[in-house]
Amino acid sequence: MKPLHSLERKLLSSLAMDGGGLLEDVALKADMTIDQARRAVEWLRSKGIVEVGTTTRYKIEIGDEGRRAVEHGLPERRMVEVLKKLGGEAELHELSKAFDSSKEFSAAFGHARAKGWIGTVSIGDKVFVKILTPDQISPEESLLKKFIAKKELFLDELPEEEKKAVGRLIKRPDYFMKRPVKTIDIMLTELGRKTAETIKEVKEIDSLTPELIISGRWREHRLRPFDVEAVAPTIYPGKKHPLQRFIDEVREAFISLGFEEIVGPVIQPAFWNFDALFVPQDHPARDMQDTFYISKIKEAKIGSQDLIERVSRVHIDGGDTGSRGWGYDWRLDEAKRLVLRTHTTAVTVKYLADNKVSEAKVFSIDKVFRNEKLDTKHLAELHQIEGIVVGRKVTLRDLMGVLNEFYKILGLKKVKFWPTYFPYTEPSLQSIVYVEGFGWMELCGMGIFRPEVALPLGVKNPVLAWGGGLERLLMTKLHIEDIRELYENNLDWLRKVPLCL
C-alpha cells in the first residue's frame, strides 16, 4: 500500500464512518477546507481508495419578491386574509385599496382566482369578490416556508408537488432563480474500506519536529514515507531554446579543446566571402542562385591597397605563391559587392589577415545565409560551426584528430573522412559521422588552406580549416525530421523537448 498523506488519512477516517457523500459535506465532516478535501480526494482516487462521480444539480435561489413572500405571505394569501377581515366578501374596488399598488393587486387577484381561492359575482354594475376555499395551503407556500431557515435549496431535495411549484414561481418576476451546479460525489471503494481499517491502528506523523526528537516521542510513531510517485501537476518552466542550448554545448566543446571564439560581421564584401578564399569571380557559387547580394551599396574599403594587390595577383597569375592563378581579369568592383555571408570561412580568413598569426586555434559559431529553397533539410538562414588551427607542423592528420575529438565530446564516435574539393583548400576532405538511430550523415567540409589563400594574407604556417552546418547535427540529436521545426516556435514541442539528450 502506498503511504498516505495526513490529509488523506484524515479524510479516509471520516469517510469510513458513512461511506461518502458530496464533497462539501465530506469536507465539513472531516473538518477540512474544500481545497484540502479536493486534494485528498484526488490522491485517494489515484490510489483506488475512493471513487468520484460528478452530477449536475439544480440550486434554487430566492429573489427579492420571493423574500417578501416568505415574510408576508404570497400576494394571493394576503388577498384572502384581507377578505377574511372584511367578512369574507368585498366589492372589487374596495378590495384593491388594501394593496400597495395596482400591480400587486392584480397579481394577487389573478393568482388567488387561478388557485380557486376566490370567486367573483356581479351584481348590477358592481363586482364582488368572495372567499371560496380559505385554508388550503398551496405547495408554493410550503416551499416558501423552507426558505425561512435556508437561503438556497436543491431541486432534487423537494417533493414532486413542490418541484412543480418551483416551476410556477420561477415564472413570477424576482421569485426564484434556478442554477445548475456540478456536484462531486465521493464514495469509498472496497479497497478504501480495507485501508480505513488498517490506518486505525498505526499512528503516523508527517513531519519530524525538534519537540518529537527531544522528547523521544518519535519512537512511538511511524514516520510517513514520502511518496515519490504521487501524482503532481506537470509544469513547464521557462528554458533556453534547444538550438541555443546546442550552440552553447558546441561552444563549450571547442573551449574545452583550447580554442578561442571569434566573431565577424554578417554582411561582408565579396572580397572576404570569396576573393580572399581564391574563389574565382565567375565561380557558380557566387551566382545569384546561392548568394544574397545587397543591392545598391558597395564596400568602400575592403582592405589595404597592398592586400588587395596581392589577392588580385593570385587570381590573375598566382603572384609569388608558386601558383599560376586562374588567369582571368580580376575586377575590384566585383570584390566590393556586399553579400550576406554564405559561410563563416569569411570570418576566419579575415582573422588571419588581421592577425597574421603563426599559431592559433580559433572557432566561430554563427549565422550564414544561402538562397536555398526551404524544405525538410534546407534553411536559407542557418548556423555554421567553423574553425582553424595554425601551427608550424600541423598536418591533415591533426585536422582529422581535432574533429574526431570534437565529435567525441558531442557523443559521436564513428567518424569517416574522404577526399573532396573546395577552391580554397588542398587537400580537401569531407567528414561523415554515424548518428545512432539516424545513420551516416555529412557534417563538415575541411582541408588545408592553399598557398593562394594563406600567403597573400601573410600567413606562412599551414592552416587547418573546417566548416559545417549546425542545425543538421541538432536534428539528429532531437530526432526531428523537418529542419524547419527548429525555427517554428511550436510551444508544445518546445515544452516537451528534453533538457538532457
Query: Can you tell me which residue has the cell 575590384?
Result: 332
Contact pattern for ligand PHE over residues 364 through 403, marking x by CB under 6 A:
----------------------------------------
d(CA 419, CA 404): 16
129 vs 388, beta carbon nearer ligand PHE: 388
- DSSP 3-state of 344: coil
Among 276, 467, 483, 486, interactor with ligand PHE by CB under 6 A: 467
List the one residue out of 218, 221, 219, 215 whose CA is nearest residue 203: 221
Site for ligand PHE in 288-307 (CB under 6 A): none
CB of 343 to ligand PHE, least distance (A): 4
Which positions ≥6 away from 18 have C-beta within 8 Å?
29
The secondary structure element, H or E, covering residue 429 is strand 425-435
What are residue 212's phi and psi, to 5 degrees?
-60, -35
Amino acid at 174: D
Which positions ≥6 away from 312 have C-beta within 8 Å?
275, 330, 332, 335
Size, binding site for ligand PHE by CB under 6 A: 10
Q: Assess 465 for contact with ligand PHE (CB under 6 A).
A: yes
Site for ligand PHE in 114-153 (CB under 6 A): none
Contact pattern for ligand PHE over residues 422 through 461, marking x by CB under 6 A:
x--x-------------------xxx--------------
Q: Are the C-beta atoms of residues 452 and 275 closer than 8 Å to each other?
A: no
CB of 228 to ligand PHE, least distance (A): 49
CB of 415 to ligand PHE, least distance (A): 16
What are residue 191's phi and psi, to 5 degrees?
-60, -35
**In three state form, how does the secondary structure of 288-319 look?**
CCCCCEEEEEECCCCCCHHHHHHHHHHHHCCC
CB of 301 to ligand PHE, least distance (A): 25
Q: Assess 351 for contact with ligand PHE (CB under 6 A).
A: no
d(CA 100, CA 11): 54
109 vs 369, beta carbon nearer ligand PHE: 369
The secondary structure element, H or E, covering residue 248 is helix 242-256
What DSSP designation does 224 have? P
CB of 425 to ligand PHE, least distance (A): 5
Among 9, 78, 337, 343, interactor with ligand PHE by CB under 6 A: 343
d(CA 138, CA 140): 5
14 vs 345, beta carbon nearer ligand PHE: 345
Segment contacting ligand PHE by CB under 6 A, of 1-9, 143-151, 289-297, 465-473: 465-473
Beta-carbon neighbour count of residue 468 at 10 Å?
Answer: 20
Alpha helices (H) along 329-442 = 332-335, 345-355, 396-409
CB of 463 to ligand PHE, least distance (A): 9
Segment contacting ligand PHE by CB under 6 A, of 72-80, 183-191, 463-471, 472-480: 463-471
CB of 341 to ligand PHE, least distance (A): 10
Q: Assess 466 for contact with ligand PHE (CB under 6 A).
A: yes
Among 281, 291, 345, 476, interactor with ligand PHE by CB under 6 A: 345
* Residues found near ligand PHE in the complex (CB under 6 A): 343, 345, 422, 425, 445-447, 465-467
